[in-house]
């Protein structure tokens, strides 16, 4: 029985063992089947880079995501992204970023594998979802704006080609924005205007903001040079520090800026840090500055080898004075034997160098950008020099999920030595006004005077020291607070401070008639600008389709300028050079202190329907310290609308993928001069001591000029964004125009005072087209075309405003006029002079709409010139009425880009006083030497019918090649061998070719040197005098990123 139980127990154990083994075998088998599935389900990785389709540059902050899996992230500053734990299989990866067209690509991920997937993104043609901060309450999508605001991608331009100044960065790139001319020396600059001129007294300078704070916008700084001040504070800024520039073009868009904003606003947005490891960028630029063909620019001049009043053709001598000047310096040609110890020519190829280094990076909470730049350059003469250092440090902090802080700081220091002397010009004028008949060998073996130069030898300018040294700091803090998803407020506080020293030195025993014993002027201007700006916006979705945004804001701005100047004239000896060494009676001390303050507010309401129809109304109010005591707060209203019609359900035009209509109406202002409301007094010396006497009459009722503008336009993109364009038309009326009012003797004051007694109208259009004409895997060709038209007219002048000269009803402003418009002239019987009885002139006609004159224009009946007694005749405006730009770009294999920029301007008249004096007074043109042309003799004679078309006045239409160059992105293998992320090499030439010039000589036959030759001014200048023609440059840049 026991055995029986044992046998039974063994059988039981055997059965259990069998079941266990069977189960284990099944589990093993199942596991072997499941393991491949587990491997298949293990997550993979998708990584790659996102690049700009046109430039090949990496794009940061791009959203890369797999929407079906709710996976994704942002690209870092090197354009790289990483998506982990992607399930095995096929997926659609999408990339999106505001301002670029979204794209997607299919990818198949294997278990545990890493798949490389790269994207190229093209810029969205209209960028309707781009956030615009200028002229808006805290930032608004472009689609909601009814006005035109241009965005210039500054970083794209500086990445493509070397750019050394703000003027080079912005010239000929934005329709409606123009500079007064080209610069002829390093460290110089020109004034700018947006949509023409709308004031006769206050200039046309737009406001300039950097990262939300208002900064100095004076484009006439530094010591007095040839005819004004050659420097511009705008060029104190570093183009390499700028990410983008937003340009508000008129009062309808500038309402929220209130007083002073009617000439437009430029908002500069500097570079910021990006999320990612530190990225270092090094840039080195070298090049030359030069004048293209100086002898050709100067032209052939004429002399006579005998002393007569009318030189016979046989005795006429053609002279190339620039080449003669080179011979003089080298002691060659007719100057052989003169030992001047010089080599080369009068003008040099001035060397320039520039070094830039930056680092950017950060985390989600802390991002930074730090950069430093140094540049050193020479102009066409070795004593025209410019050095400048720029340092920028920007920091972005997220202190809390609802609070962020952006800190922006910029420091710059520079020193410029200019090449022209106040009211004396430079070496160029010793040639322009040269006297060929005084060259050796023409009238005597040794020559006479200054051997063909006007009134001094070129070496005289080398002893002058005309400099501007400056230190500038700009800093701002912007704090942004958000509450949930409906409320945002922003506070910006900042300062902009410039300390400068201007030095104007002419040595003793000089050849300068205005300072024969020398002169030294030292001034130390200080400019302080302070900005406080707060705004808040709340959004509310009334229905699923209808939303509203309410915004309020307040702003305070103060501008303080102070300057101390010391002047000493007449140094006892040539080695004495300080003011204290001059006679006490030859010294002067000057002091000025000016402060202006503005306090304002605004309120704005915006309605949106389905995020495609927008209506906005706003009201801004300002008080300014320059307003008179009898003047109350000034209000500026604004209304605008926008409709993205292509997003409507009924839209079925396939070829037009985006279309937006927009319109705006609004007001902005310009405050009067700081002391216009105050009567100012000066001191006089009386028999019993000093007394006070009124020097300037104040106007207690004075207020701002008010510009009212309407604007309408549309933006369109066609053929899947391959072609896009924008068109705007506008009309502006500036009322309460500030003009000088004559004072009646009964007031006890003399002269005039500033009053709101005029009106001016502006009108025009702007258009731009961007087209990708060809696109393939290896080649693409892009073309940008833009153009604009602007014109103005003085429509009203109040009582006691005396029209005269260039200031007339119905005329544009500023303008060029002539005393007479000569039609017929003959020589007298003796052939020695013109016959006065033969002179026939255009009788003129009143300007349209002003039948009573005296605003006379061309096109009247011919009359004897002696019967013409009107106060001048209009020739034309001294600003370009039309401007056109062409910018083609050819991309080859995405590694090589070849680009160009051409600029054409039409309708501007310029008074070249240089040309006038050269021919009329210094007699170096053919007509002034032969004196046999009756038109020339009559038009240039003070006793005849002065026709200024023969005196350097000319229509300055032209086409100029602003820039041409190429950029090559170095191969990845070569870059990697250097341990770098990417590298590029670029070359560019600026202002090297005058493609076409309408008038190369005036009617006297005198050479017109440059159609952009004009002095630096706050409005487009009509005068070319004592400055240098345009300077060209050639440079190359190597940029490496680690």
CB contact at 8 A, 215 and 474: yes
pLDDT for residue 958 is more than 50: yes
pLDDT of residue 377: 97
- Which range among 293-297, 689-693, 990-994 shows the weakest confidence by mean pLDDT? 689-693
- Which range among 646-655, 795-804, 842-851, 907-916 shows the weakest confidence by mean pLDDT? 795-804
Helix or strand run (H / E) with residue 552: strand 546-569
- The rounded distance, in Å, linking the Cα atoms of 394 and 211 is 10
Model pLDDT for residues 745-787, shown as the tens digit of each residue = 766 677 778 888 889 999 999 999 999 999 898 899 999 999 9
Model pLDDT for residues 604-620, shown as the tens digit of each residue = 999 999 999 999 999 99
User: What percentage of the chain exceeds 70 in pLDDT?
Assistant: 94
Residue showing tokens 């008129």:
250
- Which range among 157-161, 204-208, 339-343 shows the weakest confidence by mean pLDDT? 339-343
Nearest partner of 123 among 184, 54, 185, judged by Cα: 54
Helix or strand run (H / E) with residue 109: strand 103-109
359 phi/psi in degrees, rounded to 5:
-140, 140
User: What is the pLDDT averaged over residues 303-307?
Assistant: 89
pLDDT band at 33; cut points 50, 70, 90: very low
pLDDT for residue 39 is more than 50: no
pLDDT of residue 34: 40
pLDDT for residue 63 is more than 70: yes
CB contact at 8 A, 544 and 538: no
Model pLDDT for residues 306-340, shown as the tens digit of each residue = 889 899 999 999 999 999 999 998 888 888 877 77
- The rounded distance, in Å, linking the Cα atoms of 170 and 180 is 13
pLDDT of residue 728: 96
Domain ranges in the chain are 44-121, 292-346+428-456
**What is the pTM assigned to this prediction?**
0.88
Model pLDDT for residues 408-428, shown as the tens digit of each residue = 999 999 999 999 998 888 999
- The rounded distance, in Å, linking the Cα atoms of 448 and 426 is 21
Mean pLDDT value across the chain: 88
pLDDT of residue 537: 93
User: What is the pLDDT averaged over residues 978-1007?
Assistant: 92
pLDDT for residue 445 is more than 80: no
pLDDT of residue 37: 44
pLDDT for residue 730 is more than 90: yes
Q: From the centroid of its chain, how far is CA 1031?
A: 17
- The rounded distance, in Å, linking the Cα atoms of 884 and 175 is 8
CATH of domain 44-121: 2.60.40.1120
pLDDT for residue 732 is more than 90: yes
pLDDT for residue 939 is more than 50: yes
- Which range among 258-267, 550-559, 894-903 shows the weakest confidence by mean pLDDT? 258-267
pLDDT of residue 5: 34
pLDDT band at 698; cut points 50, 70, 90: confident
User: What is the pLDDT averaged over residues 386-406?
Assistant: 95
Model pLDDT for residues 637-677, shown as the tens digit of each residue = 999 999 999 999 999 999 999 999 999 999 998 888 888 88
pLDDT band at 388; cut points 50, 70, 90: very high
CB contact at 8 A, 408 and 270: yes
pLDDT of residue 134: 63
User: What is the pLDDT averaged over residues 868-884?
Assistant: 90
pLDDT of residue 25: 47
pLDDT of residue 315: 92
pLDDT of residue 136: 61
b/e for 269-302, b at 16 or more Cβ within 10 A?
bbbbbbbbeebebbbebebbbbbeebbebbbebb
pLDDT band at 227; cut points 50, 70, 90: confident
Q: Which two tokens stand for residue 735?
A: 């009322």
382 Ramachandran zone, left/alpha/beta (phi>0; psi -120 to 50): alpha
142 Ramachandran zone, left/alpha/beta (phi>0; psi -120 to 50): alpha
pLDDT for residue 989 is more than 90: yes
Provide the 10 A C-beta neighbour count for residue 155.
18
pLDDT of residue 14: 44
pLDDT band at 56; cut points 50, 70, 90: confident
């Amino acid at each position: 029985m026991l055995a029986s139980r044992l046998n039974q127990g063994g059988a039981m154990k055997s059965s259990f063992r069998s079941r266990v083994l069977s189960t284990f075998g099944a589990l093993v088998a199942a596991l072997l089947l499941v393991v491949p599935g587990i491997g298949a389900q293990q997550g993979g990785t998708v990584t790659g880079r996102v690049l700009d389709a046109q430039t090949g540059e990496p794009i940061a902050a791009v959203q890369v995501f797999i929407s079906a899996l709710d996976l994704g992230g942002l690209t870092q500053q090197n354009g790289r992204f990483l998506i982990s734990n992607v399930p095995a299989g096929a997926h659609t990866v999408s990339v999106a970023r505001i301002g670029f067209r979204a794209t997607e690509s299919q990818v198949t991920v294997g278990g545990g594998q890493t798949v490389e997937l790269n994207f190229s993104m093209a810029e969205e043609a209209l960028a309707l979802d781009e956030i615009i901060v200028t002229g808006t309450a805290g930032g608004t999508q472009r689609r909601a704006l009814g006005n035109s605001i241009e965005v210039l991608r500054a970083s794209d331009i500086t990445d493509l080609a070397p750019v050394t100044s703000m003027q080079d960065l912005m010239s000929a790139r934005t329709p409606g924005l123009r500079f007064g001319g080209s610069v002829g020396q390093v460290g110089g600059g020109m004034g700018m205007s947006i949509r023409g001129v709308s004031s006769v007294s206050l200039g046309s300078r737009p406001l300039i903001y950097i990262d939300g704070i208002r900064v100095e916008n004076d484009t006439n700084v530094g010591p007095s040079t040839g005819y004004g001040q050659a420097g511009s504070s705008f060029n104190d800024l570093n183009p390499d520090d700028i990410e983008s520039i937003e340009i508000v073009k008129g009062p309808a868009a500038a309402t929220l800026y209130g007083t002073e904003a009617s000439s437009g606003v430029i908002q500069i947005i500097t570079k910021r840090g990006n999320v990612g490891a530190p990225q270092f960028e090094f840039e080195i630029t070298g090049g030359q500055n030069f004048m293209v063909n100086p002898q050709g620019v100067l032209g052939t001049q004429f002399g006579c080898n005998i002393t007569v009043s009318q030189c016979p053709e046989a005795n006429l001598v053609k002279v190339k004075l620039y080449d003669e000047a080179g011979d003089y310096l080298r002691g060659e040609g007719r100057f052989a034997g003169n030992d001047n110890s010089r080599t080369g020519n009068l003008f040099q190829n001035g060397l320039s160098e520039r070094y830039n280094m930056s680092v950017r990076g950060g985390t989600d909470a802390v991002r930074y950008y730090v950069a430093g730049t140094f540049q050193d350059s020479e102009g066409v003469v070795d004593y025209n020099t410019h050095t400048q250092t720029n340092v920028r440090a920007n920091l972005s902090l997220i202190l809390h999920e609802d609070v962020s802080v952006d800190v922006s700081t910029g420091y710059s220091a520079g020193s410029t030595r200019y090449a022209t002397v106040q009211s004396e010009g430079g070496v160029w004028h010793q040639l322009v006004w040269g006297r060929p008949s005084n060259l050796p060998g023409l009238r005597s073996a040794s020559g006479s005077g200054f051997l063909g130069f006007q009134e001094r030898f070129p070496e005289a300018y080398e002893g002058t020291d005309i400099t501007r040294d400056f230190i500038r700091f700009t800093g701002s803090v912007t704090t942004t607070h958000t509450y949930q998803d409906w409320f945002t407020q922003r506070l910006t506080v900042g300062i902009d401070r410039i300390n400068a020293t201007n030095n104007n030195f002419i040595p003793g025993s000089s050849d300068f008639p205005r300072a024969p014993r020398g002169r030294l002027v030292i001034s130390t201007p200080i400019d302080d600008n302070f900005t406080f700006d707060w705004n808040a916006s709340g959004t509310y979705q009334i229905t699923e389709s209808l939303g509203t945004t309410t915004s309020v804001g307040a702003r305070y701005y103060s501008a303080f300028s102070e300057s101390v100047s010391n002047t000493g004239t007449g140094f006892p000896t040539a080695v004495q050079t300080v003011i204290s060494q001059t006679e006490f009676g030859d010294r002067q001390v000057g002091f000025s202190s000016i402060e202006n303050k503005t306090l304002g507010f605004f309120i704005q309401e915006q309605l949106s329907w389905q995020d495609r129809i927008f209506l906005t109304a706003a009201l801004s109010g300002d008080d300014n310290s320059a307003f008179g005591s009898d003047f109350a707060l000034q209000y500026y209203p604004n209304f605008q609308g926008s409709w993205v019609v292509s997003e409507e359900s009924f839209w079925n035009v396939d070829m037009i993928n985006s279309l937006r209509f927009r319109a705006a109406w609004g007001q902005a202002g310009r405050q009067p001069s700081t002391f216009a409301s105050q009567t100012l007094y000066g001191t006089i010396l009386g028999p019993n001591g000093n007394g006070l006497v009124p020097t300037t009459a104040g106007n207690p009722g004075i207020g701002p000029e008010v510009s009212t503008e309407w604007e309408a336009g549309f933006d369109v993109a066609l053929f899947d964004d391959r072609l896009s364009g924008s068109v705007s038309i506008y009309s502006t009326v500036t009322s309460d125009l500030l003009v000088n009012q004559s004072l009646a003797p009964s007031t006890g004051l003399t002269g005039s005072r500033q009053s709101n007694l005029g009106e001016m109208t502006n009108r025009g259009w702007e258009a731009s087209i961007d087209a990708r004409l060809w696109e393939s895997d290896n080649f693409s060709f892009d073309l940008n075309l833009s153009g604009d038209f602007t014109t103005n007219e003085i429509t009203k002048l109040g009582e006691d405003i005396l029209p005269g000269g260039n200031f007339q009803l119905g005329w544009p402003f500023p303008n060029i006029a002539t005393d007479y418009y000569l039609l017929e002239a003959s020589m007298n019987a003796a052939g020695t002079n013109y016959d006065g009885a033969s002179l026939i002139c255009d009788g003129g006609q009143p300007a349209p709409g002003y039948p009573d004159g005296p605003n006379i224009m061309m096109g009247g009946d011919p009359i004897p010139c002696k019967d013409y007694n009107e106060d001048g005749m209009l020739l034309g405006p001294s600003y370009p009425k039309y401007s056109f730009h062409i910018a083609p770009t050819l991309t080859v294999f995405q590694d090589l880009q070849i680009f160009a920029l051409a600029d054409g301007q039409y309708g501007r008249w310029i008074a070249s006083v240089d040309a006038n004096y050269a021919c009329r007074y210094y007699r170096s043109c053919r007509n002034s030497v032969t004196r046999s042309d009756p038109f020339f003799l009559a038009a240039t004679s003070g006793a005849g019918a002065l026709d200024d078309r023969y005196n350097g006045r000319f229509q300055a239409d032209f086409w100029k090649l602003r820039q041409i160059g190429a950029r090559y992105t170095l191969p990845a293998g070569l870059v990697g061998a250097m341990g770098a992320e990417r590298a590029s090499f670029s070359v560019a030439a600026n202002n090297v070719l005058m493609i076409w010039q309408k008038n190369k000589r005036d009617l006297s036959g005198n050479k017109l040197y440059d159609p952009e030759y004009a002095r630096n001014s706050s409005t487009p200048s009509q005068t070319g005098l004592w400055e240098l023609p345009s300077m060209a440059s050639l440079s190359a840049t190597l940029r490496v990123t680690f």
